[in-house]
Chains A and B, each alone.
Chain A
Amino acid sequence: MVANPILYIALPLFTAFLVPLLAKLWKPLVRIVPGLVLAYLAIMSVVLMQQVSPEKPIIAMIAGWKAPWGINLVFTSFSGFIASLISILAFFIWLYSFGFKKVEFDDAQKYFILFMLLTAGSIGVVLTGDIFNMFVFIEITSLSAYALTAFYKGRDGAEAAFKFLLIGSFSSIMLLLGIAILYTYTGTLNMAHLALLMPQVPMHAKITSFLLFFVALGIEAEMFPLNGWAPDAYSQAPGPIAASFAGILAKAGIYALIRVSYTIFDLGDHGGFELLLVMGLITMVVSELVAMRQENLRRMLAYSSMGQMGLIMIAFGLGTKEGIYAGLFIMFNHAVIKSLLFLASAYLVYYTSRKKISDLDGFGKLLPLTSLLFGLGAFAIVGLPPFSGFWSKLSLLIATANSHMEFVLATVLAVSVIEIIYYFRVLGRLYFRKAHKEIKVRKPTWNSVVTMIVLALVIIAVGVHPDFITGLLHNAATDLADKADYIQKIIPDLFSQTLN
C-alpha cells in the first residue's frame, strides 16, 4: 500500500470536497466514503508507526522543495504517534456517527465534510514542519470546529460557536503576530530552521513571540483562563464531535503548544517550562473544582477534560523525559477514555433537553451496557487499576516526584480525590436511583455499541498490560526530548554548517 504522510492531509481534504459530488451519484456514499478513507489512514498509520523510529523519521517534502525552503511534513515517533492516535480515533468516531443520527441528507453531508476537514486540519497541525503552515491548519481545524459546534439548530450551538469563534480569532491573530516577529528576526518559517536560528533572536523579541504563541495555542489547548469556549462547545456539539474535540482538537492544540515550547523556542529551561507547569496546575485545579458542581453531564465531562489537559500541561511542564513520557501517556488515555465517556453520555442524555445529571437516574437498568461502559470509563479516568488511567497517573506522579515537586504532587492527588467524588456521584445516580416516569430511552445502534466496546477493550487491555504502548511512548518521548536530532534530521546541511 502507498504509505506517505502527505496522504494524511491530502486524502481527507480531497474527500471533503468530493463528498458533494459523490452525493450526486449515490447518497449513502456520503456516509461510506469518509469511513473508507479514515480506515485507510488508520491502517496507514499502523504501517508507518512500524517503519518510523527516533533514528529515522519519515520526512515528506511537498512539491519537491527541500526544507527550509519548501514545506515538509515530518512524521517522527512523536508527531507520528499523535497523528496515528488522531486518525485511528477519527475512524472510530466515524464508525460511531455512521448511523448516529438519521438526519436528513444535507445535514449528513455537512457533518461528514466538516468532520473530514477537522481531521485533516488536526493531523496537518501535528505533521507539518512549517510554522505558518501550522497556523493555516489550525485555522482550518477551528473553522470546521465552529461550524460543527453549531451543527444542531435545536440547541444553543450557535451561541457556543460564536464564543469559540470570538476567542479563536484572537488566537489566530496572536499566532500570526508571533510568527511575524520570528520571521522578521530569522527570515525563515521552517520549524527546524527557526529552532536552529533561535539563539540569535534578541531576548525581548523571543519572549514576546513565545508568549504570543503560548496564549494563542493555550486557547486551543484549553488552558485556564483561555478556555471559556470549551465547556459550551463540548456541551453543545453533537456527541461524537464532543468526543473528537477531546480526542482530536485538543490534542492538536496541546501538540502545537508542546512543539513550540520544546522544539522551536529555547526558553524552556529559562522559565518556559515553569510557566507551562504553573498554568497547567491552575487549569487543572480550577477545572476540576468547577466540574465538581456541574448539573449538566456534558459540561461536567468538558470541565473534567479541561482538567486532564491541565494534567498534560503539568506533565510536559516538568521538562524531563519522564515528564514527556507521562504526558504522552495521559494524552493517549484522555483521548480514548474521554471519547468513550462522551460517546456513552450521548446516549445517556439523548432525549433530555437540559442534559442534567439528575436525568440519569436509574439508567443502569434502562441502558445496562451503555451505563456499564460509562462506569468503566469513569473508573479509568479517575485512575483506578486495572484500567489504563492508572498507569498514566503513576508515571506522572513518578515524574513529578523525581523532579522534587512535592507540592504539585499533593495538588494533583488532592484534585483526583475531587474527580473521584463527582464521577462516583454520577455512577451512584445511574445505578441506585429510581428512573423518572415517562423517560424515553434511545437504544444504541450496533455501530456505536461496537465503537464503545472497542474503546473499552483498549482501556482494559492497556490497563492490564500497558506494554502494548509503552514502547511507542518511549520512542516518542526520546524523539521529542532530543531537539538537536530533530533539527539535524530535517535540515542536515544547515545544521552541520552552524556546528562548524
Chain B
Amino acid sequence: MNSLIILLFILGGGALLSYFAFLSKHAFGQAVVWLVAIASPVYFFTQVAVGESFSFSLGGFELALGFNHYSWVFALLIMVLSPLSLIYSTGYMKSRLRLGTFYFSFIFSIFGMMGILMSRDLVSLFIFWEIMTWASYLLVIYRGKDVEHTGIKYMIFSAVGAYSMFMAIVILNREMHSFDIATVIQNFGNMNAADQWLTGILLLIGFAVKSAVMPLHVWAPGAYTNTPTSFTAVFSGGLSKMGVYGIGLVLLNLYSHSDFSQVGIYLAWLGAITAVMATFRAVFQNDAKKLLAYSSVAQLGYIVAGIGLGTELSVFAGIYLAILHGAFKGTLFMAVGAVERQAGTTDMTKISGLIKNMPWTFFAALVAIIALAGIPPVGGFVGKWMLYEAAINSEHMFLVILIFISSTAAFLYSFRFLFGLFLGQQEEETAHIKEAPAVMVVPMILLSLFLVLMGTFPGIIFKPIAAGMAELGFQGVPWHMSVLYNMWGDSVNLTYVSITFGTVFLLGLVYITLIARKGTKHKLSTKDIHTAGEIPKPEDNLNYSLDFYKPFERVLSPLLKHKLDVYYNEFGKGLEALFNFMRRIYTGNGQTYALYVVVFLVALILLSGRIFGI
C-alpha cells in the first residue's frame, strides 16, 4: 500500500471517524482527534518522502499523486501547523455543539490541502481544491454568525475562483490531451498566445482568490474573523498558502516559458497595493481577531509580491515568508484564541493588561509580533530583508516604497495588538482571568521558539526551499545557514547580529537588575502612576484604547473612504433586481404559456432558413 494513500487515508478516515465518534461520545471524539493529530505528522515525517508516486485511473481519467520538492515545502508547513492547531483546538473548543461537524471539516480540509500538494494532475488538484473549499466553508459558517453574508461571500468568491480554474483546466486538456501537470508545463509554450493568456489568467484568478489578492480579497477579513479561531490559524496560516503555491506554479512554471512573463510584475503590484490597503485597515481595528485577519491579507500581499516579482531572491523570499507567515500568524491566532477563550472577547477596548494573567500567551504573541514586524533578531526579518533586497535589486523602486510603507504601518497594529490585549491598565474585571490550558499554550510556545530559531539559523528552512526552487526553474539556489546575500553581494550576518544584541541585552539585564537592587520596587499596580499632579479617581478611565490611532486616521481619511465590497454588494443587488424582473416571464396564466408555445413555433419556422442554412 502506497504511503501517500495511507496518509490521505489517515486524514480522510480520521475526519469521518471523528464525526461519528463525536456523535457517540465526547471522549471518543477527543481521542480520535488526538490520534489524527499525532499519527498524521508522525507518519508524514517518517514514511512519506519526495519522489514517491502513486498513479491510478478513476472515471476514465489518469490521476497521479506524489510530492515534488516544491510542494514538499508547503507540505512541511501544513503538517506542522495543522496538527498543532488540532491539539490546540481540543482545548479551545469549549462548546460541545456540533463538535463532530467541526472536527470533520477541520481534518477534511487538511486532507484537501495535503491532496492539493500531492496531486500531480489537474483533475485531482481540482477535486482536492473543491474539497478543501467546502470543508473550510463549513468552518466559516460553523458559528452561524451572519451566514447569509460572510459565508455566502466566501462561497461565491471561492466558487468564482474554482470555476475559472476549472475552465482553464479543461481548455488546457483540450490543447494537451492530458491533465498531467508536468505535460502541461512542458507543452504550455507550444499553445497559441490567446490560449496561453486565457488559461494562465484564469488559473491565476483561481489561486489569487484563496491568497486574497486585491480585488478578490473582500471575503477574507470576514471569513477569517468568523471561523473558530483554532481553525483560523490553519486557514490564514496554511490554507491561504495553497493559493500561493498555485500562483508560483502558474507564474514560474507556465508563464515564464511564454511571452507573458510580465504578468508577474502586475501581480506583484497588486500584492503590494493589497498589503498597503489591508495594513491601513488593520491599524484601525478595535477587534484583535479582525486586526489579525486584515494583517493576514497584508502579509499575503507581500508573499504574492515576492513571488510575482519572479527573480530568484524574491521568489525565495516569497516562499520563505509563506512558511514563516504560517508560523507566526498561526501563533498569533492561537494567542487570540486563548484570550478569546479565557476572557470571552477579543475586543481590545474591553480587555487590557492580561500580561500578568496570561504570561505564556503574551510571550508567544510577543515573539510572533516581532516576527510579523520583521524586526531582527527573529525570523520574520530574514524574509522581509530578502524581499526588499530582491525588489531593490530588480529596481522596482516604487514597489519597494509601497512594501516599506505597509511594513512600517504594520508596526502600528503590531503595537496596538500587544498593547490592547496584554499591556495597559489591569482592571479588576479582568483580574480573575487565568492562563489558557497547556494544550493551548504548548503549541504556541513551540511555534514561537521555532520563530526565534529562524532568526539566527534560517538555513534550516532554506534547504528545502532551495530544493523546491529547482522545480520552479531556479537551479542551485545558493543558501547559507545564517548569512543572507542579495544579488549585489551585500550581506547580513545573522550570527553577529544575534551575538551582539544578545550579549548587550544579557549584560544589560544583569546590570539593570543588580544595580540598586534593594531600592527597586517590582510589579507595582498600574493604578499608581505619574499623573502630573492630579489624583485619578477610581471611576476615571486610565485605559487609552479607543480611537488609538485617531490622528493617523485623520491623515488617511480620504484613502479609507472607499471600501471595495460596497461596490460588490451594489453589483449583487443589481443582479438580484434583474432576476426578480426575469421571474415575471412566468406569469402564471396558462394562456400566456400556450401563447409562448405558438409564438416560439412560429418564430422557429420563420427563422428556419437562418437556422438550417438554406
Contact = CB atoms under 8 A, between A and B. Distances in A.
Is any CB of A less than 8 Å from a CB of B in the complex?
A: yes
A385 interface: yes
A410 B163 CA distance: 9
B612 A384 contact: no
A211 B167 contact: no
A203 B60 contact: no
Contact of A467 (B58, B170, B604): B58
A397 B586 contact: no
Interface stretch (A18-26, A27-35, A66-74, A413-421): A413-421
Contacts of A421: 152, 155-156
B580 interface: yes
Given A271-B612, A271-B613, A289-B579, A397 B601 contact: no
Interface string A261-298: 00000010011101100000000001001101110000
A394 B151 contact: no
A420 B605 CA distance: 37
A344 to B, nearest CB: 18
Given A293-B576, A400-B170, A420-B159, A225 B141 contact: no
A171 B600 CA distance: 12
Contacts of A170: 594, 597-598
Given A162-B590, A226-B600, A467-B59, A402 B579 contact: no
B152 A424 contact: yes
A215 B600 contact: yes
A470 interface: yes
A165 to B, nearest CB: 9
Contact of B605 (A211, A228, A401, A414): A211
B134 A384 contact: yes
B60 A293 contact: no
B167 A409 contact: yes
Nearest to B578: A289
Contact of A413 (B127, B166, B580): B166
B597 A226 contact: yes
B596 A228 contact: yes
Contacts of A409: 167, 170-171
A173 to B, nearest CB: 10
B151 A424 contact: yes
Interface string A463-494: 00111001000000000000000000000000
Given A271-B611, A400-B170, A424 B155 contact: yes
Interface string B583-614: 10110101111101110110011001001111
A208 interface: yes
Nearest to A434: B144
A392 to B, nearest CB: 10
Contacts of A417: 156, 159-160, 163
Given A391-B59, A421-B155, A402 B174 contact: yes
Contacts of B59: 391, 394, 466-467, 470
A404 B440 CA distance: 54
A394 B368 CA distance: 43
A44 interface: no
A428 B141 contact: yes
Contact of B608 (A162, A211, A294): A211
Given A211-B608, A391-B59, A397-B170, A290 B579 contact: yes
A290 B586 contact: yes
A10 interface: no
Contact of B590 (A163, A390, A391): A163
Which of B164, B576, B582, B586 has the most chain A CB atoms inside 10 A of its CB? B586
B122 to A, nearest CB: 11
B16 to A, nearest CB: 11
Interface string A281-321: 00000100110111000000000000000000000000000
Nearest to B147: A428
Contacts of B144: 431-432
A422 B244 CA distance: 30
Interface string A163-181: 1001100110010000000
A293 B173 contact: no
Nearest to A272: B612
Contacts of B58: 465-467
B340 interface: no
By CB atoms of chain B within 10 A, which of A215, A271, A386, A394 has the most?
Answer: A394
Contact of B593 (A229, A401, A425): A229
B580 A293 contact: yes
5 contacts: A163-B590, A203-B614, A271-B613, A289-B582, A401-B173
Q: Which 3 A-B pairs have the closest CB atoms?
A: A228-B593, A466-B59, A432-B144
Given A170-B594, A232-B588, A397-B167, 6 more contacts: A170-B598, A225-B600, A226-B596, A293-B576, A402-B174, A466-B58
